[in-house]
């Protein structure tokens, strides 16, 4: 981190000086930044798009020395723990962010933040969901869905309601480097900083999802290790993998391996492979302009009618309609 920027962040601003003296929260937001319609319905304040009058992304340091009350947003927010730690309540659940951790809050997520000390630097990055959203993250994370489903025992479905994600990235040098660049661009007010920060934002979330790790909490029997290896191979070789090749590799009878897989995973081998192909196709449909026919071919499905039937069953929408709806959203 640029030392000049770090010094700026550690320096107490006027609100922090008062909060440090009185240990009481001082309202820092102008009235225009608070949505009165929402505030009348709930006992929390709702922050609106006031911050984006002249830019697409707003970066700030969270004020220290007093607890921040329960609130939500009509935009997305990243909380990045640059130094120290922060205790929060997110949707009623207590979480702690340590140095290097990152919390992504979707529109409507409610959270409060406990008092930060002098050595705690929490950086807030606000952005509208036209730039990026939780659905985009889910689409990226689905690239590893079959292994995640098994380890989490909680499938990531297309209609899943989840409005925050936590990334433990303290040991990820690339993430800290990207965050440092974004923070420096903003606070040093460099030329074209808004454009550069928007680019960094996409790079950031893509790296977050690519490096997202889930640790298996179950005992590692020989059977479970083999199944995890097979699921990993499905994620990587979904368009050409076959049960017979795997049976030959692990020295099992094909039918025996099929039964073993279904017993451990709860789904048949073919169902898991199709699920992977569909989620990969969905990602390509939503993030590229490739013709649907090319995408079907790319994910290793030869029967187009079969693809359209299965896609609709899984996503409750036709591929082209999905793409058009995404373009309208953008």
Output the domain CATH number for residue 321. Answer: 1.10.10.60
| Same domain membership, residue 252 and residue 197 | no
**Distance (Å, whole) CA 219 – CA 224:** 8
> What are the Cα distances from residue 164, in Å, to 7, 58, 233, 306?
30, 19, 29, 35
185, 210, 235: which is the final residue of a domain? 210
Q: Is residue 217 part of a domain?
A: no
Q: Is residue 216 part of a domain?
A: no
| Same domain membership, residue 226 and residue 137 | no
200: three-class secondary structure by DSSP: helix
- Quick one: which of 265, 268, 287, 240 has its CA closest to 138? 287
**Distance (Å, whole) CA 189 – CA 27:** 26
Q: Is residue 215 part of a domain?
A: no
Q: Is residue 23 part of a domain?
A: yes
Contact 283, 139 (CB under 8 A): yes
* Structural domains in the chain (count): 2
What is the token pair recorded at 310?
A: 């299965």
Q: Is the pLDDT of residue 20 over 90?
A: yes
| Same domain membership, residue 257 and residue 189 | no
Q: What is the pLDDT of residue 58?
A: 86
Q: Is residue 183 part of a domain?
A: yes
Range of the structural domain that residue 289 is part of: 222-329
Q: What is the DSSP string of 211-275?
A: T------S---HHHHHHHHHHHHHHHHTTT--HHHHHHHHT--HHHHHHHHHHHHSS-HHHHHHH
| Same domain membership, residue 185 and residue 36 | yes
**Distance (Å, whole) CA 9 – CA 187:** 9
Q: Which phi and psi angles does 28 have, rounded to 5°?
A: -100, -15
Q: Is the pLDDT of residue 309 over 90?
A: yes
**Distance (Å, whole) CA 73 – CA 75:** 5
| Same domain membership, residue 324 and residue 254 | yes
Q: Which CATH number does the domain housing residue 151 bear?
A: 2.60.120.280
pTM of the predicted model as reported, rounded to 2 decimal places: 0.62
| Same domain membership, residue 308 and residue 230 | yes
- Alpha helices, DSSP H only, in 73-152? 134-141, 145-152
Q: Is residue 256 part of a domain?
A: yes
The mean pLDDT of the chain is: 81
pLDDT band for position 326 (50/70/90)? low
Q: Is the pLDDT of residue 292 over 50?
A: yes
Q: Is residue 165 part of a domain?
A: yes
| Same domain membership, residue 85 and residue 46 | yes
| Same domain membership, residue 97 and residue 240 | no
**Distance (Å, whole) CA 206 – CA 202:** 6
Q: What is the pLDDT of residue 96?
A: 96
Q: Is the pLDDT of residue 218 over 90?
A: no
Give tens-digit pLDDT for 117-158. Answer: 999 999 999 887 554 544 455 554 555 545 444 443 433 333
186, 210, 234: which is the final residue of a domain? 210
What is the token pair recorded at 137?
A: 């993250």
Q: What is the pLDDT of residue 328?
A: 56
Angle at 250 between CA 246 and CA 252, to 5 degrees: 90
| Same domain membership, residue 201 and residue 236 | no
- Give Dmax (Cα) for the chain: 73
Q: Give the strand pairing for 121-127 and 57-61.
A: antiparallel
* Residues 6+ away with beta carbon under 8 Å from 48: 33, 34, 35, 73, 74, 75
210, 230, 254: which is the final residue of a domain? 210
Q: Is residue 265 part of a domain?
A: yes
| Same domain membership, residue 197 and residue 270 | no
| Same domain membership, residue 227 and residue 205 | no
Q: What is the pLDDT of residue 176?
A: 92
Q: What is the pLDDT of residue 160?
A: 42
| Same domain membership, residue 303 and residue 200 | no
Q: What is the pLDDT of residue 274?
A: 93
């Amino acid at each position: 981190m640029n030392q000049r920027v770090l010094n700026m962040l550690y320096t107490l601003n006027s609100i922090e000086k008062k909060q440090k003296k009185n240990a009481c929260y001082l309202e820092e937001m102008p009235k225009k930044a608070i949505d009165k319609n929402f505030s009348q319905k709930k006992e929390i304040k709702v922050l609106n798009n006031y911050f984006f009058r002249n830019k697409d992304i707003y970066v700030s340091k969270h004020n220290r020395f007093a607890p921040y009350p329960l609130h939500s947003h009509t935009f997305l927010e990243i909380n990045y723990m640059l130094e120290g730690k922060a205790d929060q309540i997110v949707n009623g659940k207590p979480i702690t962010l340590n140095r290097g951790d990152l919390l992504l809050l979707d529109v409507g997520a409610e959270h409060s933040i406990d008092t930060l000390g002098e050595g705690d630097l929490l950086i807030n990055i606000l952005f509208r969901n036209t730039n990026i959203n939780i659905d985009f993250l889910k689409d990226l994370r689905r690239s590893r869905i079959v292994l995640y489903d098994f380890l989490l025992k909680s499938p990531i479905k297309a209609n899943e309601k989840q409005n925050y994600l936590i990334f433990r990235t303290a040991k990820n040098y690339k993430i800290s480097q990207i965050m440092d660049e974004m923070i420096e661009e903003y606070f040093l007010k460099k030329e074209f900083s808004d454009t550069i920060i928007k680019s960094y934002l996409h790079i950031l979330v893509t790296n977050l999802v690519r490096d997202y790790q889930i640790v298996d909490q179950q005992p590692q029997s020989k059977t479970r290790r083999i199944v995890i290896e097979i699921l990993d191979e499905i994620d990587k070789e979904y368009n050409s993998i076959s049960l017979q090749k795997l049976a030959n590799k692990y020295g099992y009878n094909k039918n025996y391996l099929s039964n073993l897989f279904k017993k451990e995973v709860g789904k048949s081998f073919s169902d898991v492979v199709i699920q992977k192909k569909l989620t990969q196709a969905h990602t390509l449909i939503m993030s590229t302009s490739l013709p649907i026919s090319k995408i079907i071919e790319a994910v290793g499905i030869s029967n187009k009618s079969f693809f359209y039937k299965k896609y609709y069953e899984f996503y409750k929408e036709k591929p082209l309609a999905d793409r058009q709806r995404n373009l309208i959203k953008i």
